[in-house]
Structure 1
Amino acid sequence: MDSNQLFKYVYAKYGLKFKPAVPGSTSVYVLMSPVDSGYFAMLSRGQGQSILDLKCGAMAALIRDLPGFTDPMKIKAADWVGAILEKVSEDSLKKALDFAFKLAMNGDEVNIAQNQYFYIAPDKVDDRYQAQAIKPSENLRKKHNNSLVPDRIRKMLEIYDYSILPSRGRAKNFYQQARMMADYDDDYPEFFAFKRFYPTYHDMNTGQLRSYFTWRSKIRQHVFEKTSTSYAFVYIYELLNNIGVDDAQDGYEKLLEFEGKYVRQFDISIDVYLQDWLKDYVLYYDLDEKIIKQRFASEIKRDHDYEVLHHPEKFTAQELAAVFAKKTTYWNSSKVINKNEKLFVQLLRYVWLELLDAKKYGIAYYSAFVGKPDIIEKPIFAGSVFYLRKQQVADHQIDAVRKYHFYQGKWQIHCDQQISRQRVNLNNFLHELDRVARTEFKLGRSIKPRFIDQAVLKAINAGVAEYHIQEKKAQIDQIKIDFSDLDQIRANASKTRDSLLTDEEKQLEQAEAQEEVEKQADETVKVDNEYGLDENEMFFLTALLMQQPWQTYLKQHHLMASILMDNINEKLFDEFGDVVLENNEQDQPQVITDYVDDLKDMFLKG
């Protein structure tokens, strides 16, 4: 017997249905006693087999030793036994299930034959259904003792309409009963716990009803006390149906109060459902647009990023770069991008605009690699007991991307869905942009290309070209002035001045000039750097870049030029992949011409 056959057998035999242990679960189901709603069976499906845990009382140890039976999978208790559906015989499984059912119906009494609800046919007897008188148990007789039931509760119980189909009747009956009890208060001294999936008044006995309404009376007086989770859900269901509120705005405020003073204080497990229902509430009851925006703040923030990526022409280059910084790891980890952020911010926008031109490159990059417009259907107030009274609900445009449309009890949510491997796709795009930019703008050593669609690579190159065009347009024409005559006059004046100086004055002037050069060199040196160069190495490199004297400094500090050269080349090798200093034909140290500009940017600017 497989799990589907088991479901059919249980429903045909006992009129009971397995229910998900957690709303929406497809792996764990429970079977509850009609008497007290307690579990007496739990089915676990997965990993190639299904195990049915049964509560068999004192007989569990004996049954556990039979073929196909084992220890329970989920319920770790001595009076429970597990049955592997794929291994246990159908006859043995049915007998064990019957035994567990009779125990549940008779309050776990050992001598169940004295007070059983159903006649269970013995072996080799026709087990077709036969009409049997059902003897109410003591528990059922006590469920609603008329002498203890307040008149309002009794009337509420009487209006339950059993003629409505369960699929719709449960919610409608709850709504009708809730309206009758909207202003009811109670002060019951006892407390009865309550545990039920999708709980309603109809599931409660008198003690539980009075316990609930007493607790609700305190809530309405702003006194919040811990209670059974099922009672809390019933109260939320009332508010979702606008029971006990002045209007929808009042209902929303009561839901927020309950969220803050009860859910977050006593039962945070409710929050995941409540947050979803609050969104449905503000839309269904068409609350103020400002409230809707607040409730959908996280969705609006998410959608904003997709709007920027999909329509970058509406946003600044900085806004586009900020989205890439959030959605990729490459943007923040690339040293070249960080060092040249202003360049890459502008470059990214030109390239991204080019890339999204699908007609030009024959590739719909956004919908293929970033986000795809989609329509998601979701039942309104999913997982709650809600009576749908309005058939026409206004559409709501949450933002430029997200729209809610109501159709036949469900939301049709228009939004952009994230494409699988989105982060990887965007990281690869940025890597190729970085690679092309390094070559185009001489931004350090080259990096290996990654596999990427050639259309994307064409768009990157076209975007870089567009950047150059726009930069040239933005440049202001500079006025060129011929200073050749002025320079000649200054040169002649300098010669005349030199001819008038004595030898002593010339020596003094040269000494002052040398001192000033060394002073400027000292002021130019930036000791702090990310490459590990010390003060002496920084002085030596700076002097070479500025073509200033360095010999006196090395002599005073007892340093060797060759050692400084080796140290600098070693520390900068990772950045350039090459030595940056070498000896010229006169065996004097110099900076390799190809790296002069890069080194000046690194050490002389800022």
Structure 2
Amino acid sequence: MSVRAKKGDKMDSNQLFKYVYAKYGLKFKPAVPGSTSVYVLMSPVDSGYFAILSRGQGQSILDLKCGAMAALIRDLPGFTDPMKIKAADWVGTILEKVSEDSLKKALDFAFKLAMNGDEVNIAQNQYFYIAPDKVDDRYQAQAIKPSENLRKKHNNSLVPDRIRKMLEVYDYSILPSRGRAKNFYQQARMMADYDDDYPEFFAFKRFYPTYHDMNTGQLRSYFTWRSKIRQHVFEKTSTSYAFVYIYELLNNIGVDDAQDGYEKLLEFEEKYVRQFDISIDVYLQDWLKDYVLYYDLDEKIIKQRFASEIKRDHDYEVLHHPEKFTAQELAAVFAKKTTYWNSSKVINKNEKLFVQLLRYVWLELLDAKKYGIAYYSAFVGKPDIIEKPIFVGSVFYLRKQQVADHQIDAVRKYHFYQGKWQIHCDQQISRQRVNLNNFLHELDRVARTEFKLGRSIKPRFIDQAVLKAINAGIAEYRIQEKKAQIDQIKIDFSDLDQIRANASKTRDSLLTDEEKQLEQAEAQEEVEKQADETVKVDNDYGLDENEMFFLTALLMQQPWQTYLKQHHLMASILMDNINEKLFDEFGDVVLENNEQDQPQVITDYVDDLKDMFLKG
């Protein structure tokens, strides 16, 4: 809310006309020839408007073009949003409600901005414009050097030698729009290791503050405060001093390397900005991102600094390339970016179905060649390149002309070109939420009919290509579901052996001892009978009757334990005899113990042994 200036501390439109002409040599001109209600003030550099005055109904409204500082100036007493021009870089005020001093400062800033081609790093020096018809071509806009009184003020006995030398190196030959940052950097390097212990304190308030804007008392106040900061003692001070300290760190002044500078910025954020002046944070967060990229810090640090952008970009990557993600991940993005997903009772009640339907339908919809509509770029997000000055809103001297490209994630990339970032990213389409809600509504409506879910709902206006994609996606879902059901009808033969074993165990538990003995005797007779029928009577390898029985039983996977017990034989001895007699034929043992320490035929030799010893 604006605060009224004190009575008498104001400027009317006539006084404003006189002030502008006396200060800048410019005159307000009627916006339309003959008009007495609307006047404009034009830049002598490019004839663009930087002030518009409207008179009428007992008040005078003034709109000023203040560039990047407009948002900050609008928060000052007496200023508000522009009233005649709706633009983010303009501010508005009513002459009868703003103090004369505040009005002059804002007007001075707007004039300097116009004279410097909208450059934001504007010096606080006064500019004086001499009208073309009063001078020859040798004259041009230029900065006025400090007066003799000001130089004397800086050169008094209270100025330490280091500060005096720092003030003397300021290069007035460079136009402020280009040299302000360079002068600041050169002076900062001179004062990088300077400490002070000044007992007094002088407040300081400037836009884009530098050492050049401070008098001796302010300089000593700043360096004394900075000395305490470097000793990790954080005290509240003028906001402009805080910005100067941040500018130093952005320029890598007073740090060991870029990593050290980053850590000092984080410390200042935690112990000063969050404790004493949170208004700085909005600028600092943006500068920290520029810092980690410009100085090419570790990739892990860059990922941490861009965590919110990476999270946002992930959603766009899921929407743009759903084939790389699960159905659940796609549904989670829709739940975040729409209101319909969570509010639809039918979707909530049948969430498992709709999660799958959404993926099939969305994949169909993104097939532009099939449906003749680039749905993602038209209704969701459009790949774009945004240009943004590096360290915008700060006093930063650009020393490196070559800065590495940084691929933040699959969507976002930073490319440095002529002092600006070219940011490749996906920009949100206007009415994105509405578009996605309409899509979900139609998916819900068609699904209700197809799957008989709840009552019917009225259709919304939507492109026919979208409806075709919805129907095609649902059809594909049905096909895949049927295929999945067929694949699930399988007989798992791996379980049959276990089933047989369990049944046999159950059967054995029901037999009496006499029945078990009788059954074992019958089984043994059958084994011996089969062995007699299959064992070759003669062999060329010297195996006797017992060895032949044992080897044959192992080959046919039949019981042999009872036979050995009745004939008082040991399996290990039989194995050794068989291996020894067949070694010349195979060059290897043919029998071995398995993991349960039971005899078995080595798999590689089973077929050969069957040919040698089994009939038929």
What TM-score comes out, normalization by structure 2 length? Answer: 0.61
Q: Is the CA contact 1:106–1:116 (under 8 Å) kept in the aligned structure 2?
A: no
Instruction: Provide closer, same or farther for how the CA distance between residues 510 and 554 of structure 1 changes in structure 2, counting only shifts above 3 A.
Output: closer
Spell out, residue by residue over 1:396-448, the C-alpha distance to the aligned partner (whole angstroms, 9 max, x if none): 00000000000000000000000000000000000000011111111111111
Deviation at 1:563, TM superposition (A): 89
Range with bigger deviation, 248-257 or 117-126:
117-126
Q: Is the CA contact 2:211–2:219 (under 8 Å) kept in the aligned structure 1?
A: yes
Range with bigger deviation, 203-212 or 578-587:
578-587
Range with bigger deviation, 501-510 or 42-51:
501-510
Q: What is the distance in 1 between the residues matched to 2:524 and 2:483? A: 44
Instruction: Provide closer, same or farther for how the CA distance between residues 5 and 327 of structure 1 changes in structure 2, counting only shifts above 3 A.
Output: farther
Q: Secondary structure at the match of 1:128?
A: coil
Q: What is the distance in 2 between the residues matched to 1:448 and 1:524? A: 81
Deviation at 1:167, TM superposition (A): 1.7
Instruction: Provide closer, same or farther for how the CA distance between residues 410 and 466 of structure 1 changes in structure 2, counting only shifts above 3 A.
Output: same
Unaligned runs of 5+ in 1: none
Q: What is the distance in 1 between the residues matched to 2:423 and 2:598? A: 73
Q: Secondary structure at the match of 2:54?
A: strand
Range with bigger deviation, 306-315 or 24-33:
24-33
Spell out, residue by residue over 1:212-251, the C-alpha distance to the aligned partner (whole angstroms, 9 max, x if none): 0000000000000000000000000000000000000000
The reply to whether residue 589 of structure 1 matches residue 588 of structure 2 is: no
Spell out, residue by residue over 1:237-287, the C-alpha distance to the aligned partner (whole angstroms, 9 max, x if none): 000000000000000000000000000110111000000000000000000
Spell out, residue by residue over 1:380-407, the C-alpha distance to the aligned partner (whole angstroms, 9 max, x if none): 0000000000000000000000000000
Q: What is the distance in 2 between the residues matched to 1:474 and 1:110? A: 64
Q: What is the distance in 2 between the residues matched to 1:525 and 1:12? A: 129
Instruction: Provide closer, same or farther for how the CA distance between residues 381 and 464 of structure 1 changes in structure 2, counting only shifts above 3 A.
Output: same
Spell out, residue by residue over 1:161-192, the C-alpha distance to the aligned partner (whole angstroms, 9 max, x if none): 11112221100000000000000000000001
Deviation at 1:112, TM superposition (A): 29
Instruction: Provide closer, same or farther for how the CA distance between residues 76 and 228 of structure 1 changes in structure 2, counting only shifts above 3 A.
Output: farther
- Aligned residue in 1 for 2:157: 147
Instruction: Provide closer, same or farther for how the CA distance between residues 411 and 236 of structure 1 changes in structure 2, counting only shifts above 3 A.
Output: same
Alignment partner of 1:39 out of 43, 49, 71: 49
Q: What is the distance in 2 between the residues matched to 1:531 and 1:174? A: 103
Deviation at 1:51, TM superposition (A): 3.1
Q: Secondary structure at the match of 1:123?
A: helix
Range with bigger deviation, 99-108 or 418-427:
99-108
Spell out, residue by residue over 1:425-480, the C-alpha distance to the aligned partner (whole angstroms, 9 max, x if none): 00000000001111111111111111110000000000000000000111136879
Spell out, residue by residue over 1:295-327, the C-alpha distance to the aligned partner (whole angstroms, 9 max, x if none): 000000000000000000000000000000000
Range with bigger deviation, 495-504 or 528-537:
528-537
Q: Is the CA contact 2:119–2:177 (under 8 Å) kept in the aligned structure 1?
A: no
Instruction: Provide closer, same or farther for how the CA distance between residues 202 and 15 of structure 1 changes in structure 2, counting only shifts above 3 A.
Output: farther
Q: What is the distance in 1 between the residues matched to 2:29 and 2:554? A: 81
Q: Is the CA contact 2:25–2:131 (under 8 Å) kept in the aligned structure 1?
A: no
Q: Is the CA contact 1:121–1:127 (under 8 Å) kept in the aligned structure 2?
A: no
Instruction: Provide closer, same or farther for how the CA distance between residues 35 and 254 of structure 1 changes in structure 2, counting only shifts above 3 A.
Output: farther
Instruction: Provide closer, same or farther for how the CA distance between residues 361 and 21 of structure 1 changes in structure 2, counting only shifts above 3 A.
Output: same
Q: Is the CA contact 1:527–1:538 (under 8 Å) kept in the aligned structure 2?
A: no
Q: Is the CA contact 2:166–2:191 (under 8 Å) kept in the aligned structure 1?
A: yes
Unaligned runs of 5+ in 2: 1-10
- Aligned residue in 2 for 1:23: 33
Instruction: Provide closer, same or farther for how the CA distance between residues 63 and 484 of structure 1 changes in structure 2, counting only shifts above 3 A.
Output: closer
Instruction: Provide closer, same or farther for how the CA distance between residues 406 and 232 of structure 1 changes in structure 2, counting only shifts above 3 A.
Output: same
Q: Is the CA contact 2:63–2:84 (under 8 Å) kept in the aligned structure 1?
A: yes
Instruction: Provide closer, same or farther for how the CA distance between residues 118 and 269 of structure 1 changes in structure 2, counting only shifts above 3 A.
Output: closer
Instruction: Provide closer, same or farther for how the CA distance between residues 152 and 477 of structure 1 changes in structure 2, counting only shifts above 3 A.
Output: closer
Q: Secondary structure at the match of 2:187?
A: helix
Instruction: Provide closer, same or farther for how the CA distance between residues 170 and 323 of structure 1 changes in structure 2, counting only shifts above 3 A.
Output: same
Range with bigger deviation, 380-389 or 555-564:
555-564
Instruction: Provide closer, same or farther for how the CA distance between residues 242 and 591 of structure 1 changes in structure 2, counting only shifts above 3 A.
Output: same
Range with bigger deviation, 347-356 or 542-551:
542-551
Instruction: Provide closer, same or farther for how the CA distance between residues 534 and 104 of structure 1 changes in structure 2, counting only shifts above 3 A.
Output: farther
* 1:256-267 equivalences in 2 (<5 Å): 256-267=266-277
Instruction: Provide closer, same or farther for how the CA distance between residues 5 and 469 of structure 1 changes in structure 2, counting only shifts above 3 A.
Output: farther
Instruction: Provide closer, same or farther for how the CA distance between residues 464 and 280 of structure 1 changes in structure 2, counting only shifts above 3 A.
Output: same
Identity fraction in percent: 99
Instruction: Provide closer, same or farther for how the CA distance between residues 487 and 125 of structure 1 changes in structure 2, counting only shifts above 3 A.
Output: closer
Q: What is the distance in 1 between the residues matched to 2:548 and 2:458? A: 31
Q: Is the CA contact 1:186–1:214 (under 8 Å) kept in the aligned structure 2?
A: yes
Instruction: Provide closer, same or farther for how the CA distance between residues 389 and 9 of structure 1 changes in structure 2, counting only shifts above 3 A.
Output: farther
Range with bigger deviation, 300-309 or 535-544:
535-544
Deviation at 1:539, TM superposition (A): 72
Spell out, residue by residue over 1:46-100, the C-alpha distance to the aligned partner (whole angstroms, 9 max, x if none): 9999635999999999999999999999999999999979999999999999999
Instruction: Provide closer, same or farther for how the CA distance between residues 369 and 598 of structure 1 changes in structure 2, counting only shifts above 3 A.
Output: farther
Instruction: Provide closer, same or farther for how the CA distance between residues 8 and 362 of structure 1 changes in structure 2, counting only shifts above 3 A.
Output: farther
The reply to whether residue 324 of structure 1 matches residue 322 of structure 2 is: no
Q: Secondary structure at the match of 1:488?
A: helix
Deviation at 1:544, TM superposition (A): 64
Range with bigger deviation, 529-538 or 12-21:
529-538
Instruction: Provide closer, same or farther for how the CA distance between residues 380 and 496 of structure 1 changes in structure 2, counting only shifts above 3 A.
Output: closer
Q: Is the CA contact 1:445–1:575 (under 8 Å) kept in the aligned structure 2?
A: no
Instruction: Provide closer, same or farther for how the CA distance between residues 272 and 517 of structure 1 changes in structure 2, counting only shifts above 3 A.
Output: farther
Range with bigger deviation, 247-256 or 505-514:
505-514
CA-based RMSD of the aligned residues comes to 22.0
Q: Is the CA contact 1:199–1:234 (under 8 Å) kept in the aligned structure 2?
A: yes
Instruction: Provide closer, same or farther for how the CA distance between residues 305 and 560 of structure 1 changes in structure 2, counting only shifts above 3 A.
Output: farther
Instruction: Provide closer, same or farther for how the CA distance between residues 42 and 427 of structure 1 changes in structure 2, counting only shifts above 3 A.
Output: closer
Deviation at 1:136, TM superposition (A): 9.1
Range with bigger deviation, 442-451 or 460-469:
442-451
Q: Secondary structure at the match of 2:486?
A: coil
Deviation at 1:146, TM superposition (A): 2.2
Instruction: Provide closer, same or farther for how the CA distance between residues 91 and 379 of structure 1 changes in structure 2, counting only shifts above 3 A.
Output: closer
Spell out, residue by residue over 1:114-148, the C-alpha distance to the aligned partner (whole angstroms, 9 max, x if none): 99999999999999999999999897366414211
Q: Is the CA contact 2:402–2:416 (under 8 Å) kept in the aligned structure 1?
A: yes
Instruction: Provide closer, same or farther for how the CA distance between residues 396 and 173 of structure 1 changes in structure 2, counting only shifts above 3 A.
Output: same
Q: Is the CA contact 2:25–2:129 (under 8 Å) kept in the aligned structure 1?
A: no
Instruction: Provide closer, same or farther for how the CA distance between residues 190 and 69 of structure 1 changes in structure 2, counting only shifts above 3 A.
Output: closer
Instruction: Provide closer, same or farther for how the CA distance between residues 575 and 362 of structure 1 changes in structure 2, counting only shifts above 3 A.
Output: farther
Instruction: Provide closer, same or farther for how the CA distance between residues 383 and 114 of structure 1 changes in structure 2, counting only shifts above 3 A.
Output: closer
The structure whose Rg is larger is 2
Instruction: Provide closer, same or farther for how the CA distance between residues 29 and 122 of structure 1 changes in structure 2, counting only shifts above 3 A.
Output: closer
Deviation at 1:13, TM superposition (A): 3.7
- Aligned residue in 2 for 1:433: 443
Deviation at 1:11, TM superposition (A): 8.0
Range with bigger deviation, 159-168 or 111-120:
111-120
Q: Secondary structure at the match of 1:45?
A: strand
Q: Is the CA contact 1:35–1:139 (under 8 Å) kept in the aligned structure 2?
A: no
Q: What is the distance in 2 between the residues matched to 1:496 and 1:452? A: 67
- Aligned residue in 2 for 1:270: 280
Instruction: Provide closer, same or farther for how the CA distance between residues 546 and 388 of structure 1 changes in structure 2, counting only shifts above 3 A.
Output: farther
Q: Is the CA contact 1:103–1:109 (under 8 Å) kept in the aligned structure 2?
A: yes
Instruction: Provide closer, same or farther for how the CA distance between residues 180 and 308 of structure 1 changes in structure 2, counting only shifts above 3 A.
Output: same
Q: Is the CA contact 1:361–1:459 (under 8 Å) kept in the aligned structure 2?
A: yes
Q: Is the CA contact 1:373–1:417 (under 8 Å) kept in the aligned structure 2?
A: yes
Q: What is the distance in 2 between the residues matched to 1:168 and 1:153? A: 23
Q: Secondary structure at the match of 1:594?
A: helix
